[in-house]
Amino acid sequence: MFSIALGADGARLCPLEPWQAEEFLAHLDRGREFIGQYIAFADRATDLDSSRALLRAYADKAATDTGRIYGIWSDDVLVGGVLFRRMDFEHGVVEVGCWLEPAAIGKGLATRAARVIIDWAVRTRGAHRVEWQVKAGNLASIAVARRLGMTLDGVLREAMVHHGNRFDVEVWSILAPQWRALSG
Residue 1: predicted pLDDT: 62
Indicate the residue type of 182.
L
pLDDT at 61 exceeding the cut of 80: yes
pTM for this entry: 0.94
The mean pLDDT value for 127-148 works out to 95
The mean pLDDT value for 27-51 works out to 92
Q: Three-state SS for 79?
A: strand
Q: Which domains can be identified in the chain, with CATH numbers?
A: 4-183 (3.40.630.30)
Residue 64, CA distances (Å) to 56, 90, 139, 146 in order: 12, 13, 33, 30
Cα gap 64→163, rounded to integer Å: 30
Give, in degrees to the nearest 5, the angle at Cα 46 between 172 and 64.
Answer: 55
Indicate the pairing of strand 77-88 with strand 129-135.
unpaired
What DSSP designation does 148 have?
T
Q: Three-state SS for 176?
A: helix
CA-based R_g, the chain, Å: 16
pLDDT at 176 exceeding the cut of 80: yes
Q: Which helix (H) or strand (E) holds 33?
A: helix 21-35
pLDDT at 184 exceeding the cut of 80: no
